[in-house]
Amino acid sequence: MLENDERIGPYLERPSFLTLRYEDLVCRPEDTMERLHGFLGCDRSTRYLPYDPRDDRYPDRWSWVPEASGPIDPSHAFKWKAQLGSSDLERITGMAGGFIDRHGYDR
């Protein structure tokens, strides 16, 4: 992942690319979707934010993930930090520091 980020990074700076972070999508869905709609040049709509299985052509696709049937829980985006020890976090930060900084993540 880190090697690919360095290789494709220059392309992602072009105006024809938009990078969306998962954390932003689950923590601030309306702001993130507004940014996406602006990038695409289409009308802003919140119609797609709430998930309704009745509107899903394949509602069973996520049946193996129990959390998928409930509302989005933004805390899931960060629970990995609580599950790792401080030495693991330090090692990851050391290895991925450039990626972390480039994509606006906290160290």
Per the structure block, which two tokens stand in for 92?
A: 């990851």
Per-10-residue mean pLDDT, the chain, length 107: 73 83 90 92 80 82 79 86 90 88 84
Q: Are 60 and 69 in contact (CB under 8 A)?
A: no
* Closest to 35 in 3D by CA, of 23, 27, 24: 24
Phi, psi for residue 9 in degrees, rounded to 5: -50, -50
Q: How far is CA 21 from the centre of its chain?
A: 3
Model pLDDT, residue 31:
92
Distance CA 98, CA 4 (A): 12
Is the whole-model pTM more than 0.85?
no
> What pLDDT was estimated at residue 2?
66
Distance from the Cα of residue 57 to its chain's centroid = 23
Return d(Cα 81, Cα 90) in angstroms, integer.
Answer: 11
